């Protein structure tokens, strides 16, 4: 039964990750809205379902909220700002999840160090982007504050290693978008989606029982 359960989780996760990865083909296929938005969001929706079924309700809620953002970003502005807002709410939900689990893992000095580095890097980027943000200055800065807080919280609450990596990669993905949006520096093709989908996969497959930092790299607990 345990082996079958592991296989079931693995298949569901693989289906979700594969569906998300398939969106890399979107530039080469003439898929119009709203079907493009459905395709874009579908893999993240399935990751959300996966997380909820494994008992990670807040992580699943964050994923499902982000999938709304994925769909909304297929619109043209001003609906694009609504997509940003959906992602902001998703990051707040992720932050709540990290805080809820904070008592299970002791905070380490290196965690505080990574959190401080995250804040400094984010502040430097905000100052660099600020002159070019235009009408997106207020929502853009608010969003950056939220994702920076989410990433820093992952570090200072001693979240599982894959979660900390996922949060950092999520911030990297959004930084690539900001480079293009505010500075006109286009990232390598597919890099935004690859980093985004990878971050969401890492956040979705969170260990169910993390009690200490020594367990961060331990195998996933067996499902009954």
**Residue 81: pLDDT band with limits 50, 70, 90:** confident
Q: What's the chain's length in residues?
A: 224
The answer to whether 147 and 155 have CB atoms below 8 angstroms apart is no
46: Cβ contacts below 8 Å, ≥ 6 apart? 12, 15, 16, 19, 20
72 vs 75, more confident? 72
Return the pLDDT at 105.
Answer: 58
Return the pLDDT at 10.
Answer: 83
- Rounded CA-CA distance 61/59 in Å is 5
**Residue 223: pLDDT band with limits 50, 70, 90:** very low
What does the pLDDT look like over 94-134, one tens digit per residue?
999 999 877 555 667 888 999 999 999 999 999 999 999 99
Q: How is residue 209 written in tokens?
A: 């029982």
Return the pLDDT at 7.
Answer: 77
Return the pLDDT at 194.
Answer: 97
Kindly compute the dihedral angle of the four CA atoms of residues 92, 97, 102, 104, in this order, to the nearest 10 degrees.
Answer: -170
185: Cβ contacts below 8 Å, ≥ 6 apart? 179
Segments of the chain assigned E as strands: none
Question: Whose structure tokens read 């800065």?
Answer: 141
- Rounded CA-CA distance 104/154 in Å is 13
Count of CA atoms in the C-beta half-sphere (13 A) of 216? 19
- Rounded CA-CA distance 20/147 in Å is 21
What does the pLDDT look like over 6-62, one tens digit per residue?
677 889 999 999 999 999 999 899 888 889 999 999 999 999 999 999 989 999 999
The mean of the pLDDT values for the chain is 86
- With 0.75 as the threshold, say if the pTM is over it: yes
Q: How is residue 216 written in tokens?
A: 């961060």
192 vs 32, more confident? 192
Return the pLDDT at 224.
Answer: 37
Q: Pick from 72, 19, 73: which is nearest to 50 by CA? A: 19
- What DSSP state is assigned to residue 29? S
Domains of the chain, by residue range, sit at: 2-215
Find the DSSP H helices in 23-108: 35-53, 57-72, 79-100
The answer to whether 47 and 204 have CB atoms below 8 angstroms apart is yes
Residue 187 has φ and ψ, to the nearest 5°, of -75, 165
């Amino acid at each position: 039964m345990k082996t079958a359960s592991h296989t079931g989780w693995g298949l569901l996760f693989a289906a979700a990750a594969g569906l998300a990865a398939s969106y890399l083909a979107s530039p080469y296929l003439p898929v119009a809205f709203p079907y493009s938005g459905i395709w874009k969001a579908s893999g993240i929706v399935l990751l959300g379902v996966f997380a909820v079924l494994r008992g990670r309700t807040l992580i699943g809620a964050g994923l499902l909220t982000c999938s709304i953002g994925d769909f909304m970003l297929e619109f043209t502005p001003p609906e694009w700002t609504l997509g940003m807002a959906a992602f902001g709410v998703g990051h707040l939900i992720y932050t709540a999840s990290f805080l809820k689990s904070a008592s299970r893992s002791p905070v380490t000095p290196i965690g505080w160090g990574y959190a401080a580095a995250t804040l400094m890097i984010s502040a430097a980027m905000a100052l660099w982007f600020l002159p070019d943000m235009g009408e997106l200055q207020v929502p853009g800065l608010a969003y950056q504050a939220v994702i920076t807080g989410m990433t820093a919280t992952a570090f200072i609450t001693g979240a599982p290693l894959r979660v900390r990596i996922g949060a950092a990669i999520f911030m990297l993905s959004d930084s690539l978008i900001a480079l293009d949006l505010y500075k006109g520096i286009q990232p390598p093709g597919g890099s935004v989606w690859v980093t985004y989908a990878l971050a969401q996969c890492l956040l979705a497959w969170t260990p169910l029982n993390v009690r200490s930092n020594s367990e961060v790299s331990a195998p996933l607990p067996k499902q009954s």
